[in-house]
Amino acid sequence: MKEPFGAVDGGKVYLYTLRNASGIEARITNYGGIIVSLKVPDRKGALGDVVLGYDSVASYVRATPYFGCLIGRYGNRIAGGKFSLGGREYTLATNDGPNHLHGGIKGFDKVVWSVHESESVPGKTLVLTYVSKDGEEGYPGRLDVRVVYSLTDSNEIKVSYTAKTDKPTIVNLTQHSYFNLAGPGDGTILGHELMIAADRFTPIDATFIPTGELRPVQGTPLDFTSFKEIGSRIKEDDEQLRYGLGYDHNFVLSKAEGTFGLAARVYEPTTGRVMEVLTSEPGIQFYSGNFLDGSHVGKGGKPYQHRYGFCLETQHYPDSPNHPDFPSTVLKPGEEYSTVTLYRFSVKH
């Protein structure tokens, strides 16, 4: 189903609804590829929205901390807004303190994507494409990007990304939904129980840039190798929690690089909802909504207060172009960037 969702820069944007046999419903707009709502059942079978967002596209345009959107060309941070490739230094916008964040001033979250309705399966898949021109936001090469959202009858949202370039460039795409499995605007996420399939993480400095170390999580508040309440250790006196203002860290997934597997699992006790994240990416950023402060008034007029949502962003590591030991984010002509992330929903009785 397709319906108008307002206008951006004088052009109409639309809301597309995917729905499966179990009644799960995803509503996605082609502005920023944003998942506007995602309704999944609780243990009683009642459907409820589990993502933060707004009622109108104008609110997303006006001010948003990346609610629900596609991120590119480069998800997460690049130190000093600079990287070198092929012997040349490239300069990007510094839109997060001294660093570059989430693609710059006008990243993929702020553009209108083309919808390929002839390739999309109504109610099941949505095919989005965007052409990022050579030099856009300072990145080299024309990048042709394709993202396919699929809603399966196994209660999964699958996000498939592909991209090609005509010059060597860097690419790190992700999906930036904020989740609250109890419902958006209905309290903090501190009581959610989280497991991350990672025994190492990339420590950050005071500006959120990785130091280059791959540090074991064991013995730290970042150990989520077994289920822990998100809020159980978030206020501990720990340097990494102080730097991140809570959790805002990349975890090094334990699965073999390049393979598809489990990255994280979340359980919300009051509703029984369970979300699993599976990916082909080597890392996942866990963000505990530290910068939410009530200034963003969301769906139904509810303000999103401190830690009312969390993100699990599948990715290559932050600042990879400046860390040769990290898995490479370089894409060359003739190659295809290809990655898949899947969000699977169930209930625990």
| Residues marked as catalytic | 176, 313
Three-state SS letters, the chain: CEEEEEEECCEEEEEEEEECCCCCEEEEECECCCEEEEEEECCCCCEEECECCCCCHHHHHHCCCCCCEEECCECCEEHHHEEEECCEEEECCCCECCEEECCCCCCHHHCECEECCCCCCCCCEEEEEEEECCCHHHCCCCEEEEEEEEECCCCEEEEEEEEEECCCEECECEEECCECCCCCCCCCCCCCEEEECEEEEECECCCCCECCCCEECCCCCCCCCCCEEHHHCCCCCCHHHHHHCCCEEEEEECCCCCCCEEEEEEECCCCCEEEEEEECCCEEEEECCCCCCCCCECHHHCECCCCCCEEEEEECCCCHHHCCCCCCCEECCCCCEEEEEEEEEEECC
